[in-house]
């Protein structure tokens, strides 16, 4: 009999897994798996159990928010023979699930695990920390890990927006040097993100065009420091229109990059606190782990092209309205 390790966060998403746990386990058992269940009790539980026990299982499935997924990913990245990973999203935003086409309904996601196909996905690292889909610094990036879980559960994405607005009066800029592909950028930035996703913070299309989840490249976005409220509003409008060609925004693809700053910068990794550094090396580990999804690589490419075309149409419409 095949063996499945199921790790879940009982507190994620208002603890909604409790209402579906029996149905989920039944789906796994009917698919021929002997299931071992572990409910996390504290931070790093998921990482530790995945690292220490994965060799005994054919499949590791986790349920929780993006932080829980990050822990399981980090635990398995140390193994040269990691098993496939299934994910049942139960958090507030679930950006990874959005990018991978994983159902938000937990029972349907469990069915996708036993009926889907593996997708070899790029994993990122920031110095000695792994991330599944995003590492970022600057304005708003502290919102995910400073917003109380009770507030997240109560208000969902609205909680992030409200906390983000609170942080606007205290916007800090960083004088940063970024090196990649024999290029160097030096400027003052209020925000930066290095991603491998189509959705960040619940907002699709904000990571740019031609996003490949298995192409060995990050999507990098850096936002320059506005000099006044008018320039800040200009930046906000550009982001709402998903126009990353704006003069205040650097947007490019890179397999690895080095970032340095004289003062320490705090990072968020997959929605959790990711450490404080003055020197940062970010590396793309191409197709490092395989996650089960109902989508094939070809479907991902088709969906990305359709999303890109739609975004371009919206940007052109927004520009036309502005001119009129």
Sign of CA dihedral 214, 258, 208, 165: positive
Report whether 254 contacts 181 (CB < 8 A): yes
Report whether 40 contacts 65 (CB < 8 A): no
**Helix extents (H) in 77-221:** 95-100, 106-115, 143-146, 149-155, 157-167
- Could you tell me which residues are beta bridge partners of residue 204? 199
Q: What gap in Å lies between CA 221 and CA 206, rounded to an integer?
A: 9
Exactly one of 71, 163, 219, 272 is catalytic; which is it? 272
Q: What gap in Å lies between CA 131 and CA 197, rounded to an integer?
A: 11
Report whether 198 contacts 220 (CB < 8 A): no
111 Cβ contact list (under 8 Å, min separation 6): 27, 103
What DSSP designation does 242 have?
T
Name the 3-class secondary structure at 315: helix
Name the 3-class secondary structure at 37: strand
Our answer to whether residue 272 is catalytic in this structure is yes
Q: What gap in Å lies between CA 181 and CA 28, rounded to an integer?
A: 45
Helix 21-30 and helix 106-115, axial crossing angle in degrees, nearest 10: 10
Name the 3-class secondary structure at 33: strand
Q: What gap in Å lies between CA 36 and CA 173, rounded to an integer?
A: 47
As annotated, the active-site residues are: 272
């Amino acid at each position: 009999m095949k063996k499945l390790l199921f790790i879940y966060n009982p507190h994620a998403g208002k603890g909604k897994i409790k209402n579906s746990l029996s149905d989920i386990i039944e789906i796994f058992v009917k698919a021929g798996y002997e299931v071992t269940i572990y409910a996390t009790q504290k931070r790093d539980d998921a990482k530790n159990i995945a690292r220490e026990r994965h060799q005994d299982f054919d499949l590791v499935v986790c349920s929780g928010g993006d932080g829980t997924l990050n822990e399981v990913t980090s635990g398995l990245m140390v193994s040269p023979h990691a098993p496939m990973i299934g994910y049942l999203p139960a958090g507030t935003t679930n950006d990874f699930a959005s990018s991978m086409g994983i159902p938000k309904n937990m029972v349907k996601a469990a069915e996708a695990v036993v009926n889907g196909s593996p997708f070899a996905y790029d994993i990122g690292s920031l110095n000695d920390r792994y991330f599944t889909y995003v590492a970022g610094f600057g304005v708003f990036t502290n919102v995910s890990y400073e917003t109380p879980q009770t507030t997240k559960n109560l208000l969902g994405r609205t909680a992030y927006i409200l906390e983000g607005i609170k942080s606007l009066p205290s916007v800090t800029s960083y004088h940063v040097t970024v090196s990649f592909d024999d290029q160097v950028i030096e400027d003052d930035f209020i925000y930066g993100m290095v991603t491998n996703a189509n959705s960040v913070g619940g907002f699709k299309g904000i990571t740019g065009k031609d996003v490949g989840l298995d192409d060995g490249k990050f999507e990098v976005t850096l936002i320059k420091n506005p000099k006044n409220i008018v320039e800040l509003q200009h930046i906000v409008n550009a982001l709402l229109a998903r126009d990353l060609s704006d003069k205040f925004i650097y947007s490019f693809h890179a397999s690895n990059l080095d970032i340095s700053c004289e003062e320490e910068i705090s990072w968020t990794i997959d929605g959790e606190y990711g450490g404080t550094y003055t020197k940062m090396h970010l590396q793309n580990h191409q197709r490092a782990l395989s996650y089960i999804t109902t989508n094939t690589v070809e479907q991902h490419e088709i969906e990305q092209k359709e999303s890109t075309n739609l975004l371009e149409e919206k940007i052109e419409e927004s520009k036309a309205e502005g001119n009129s």
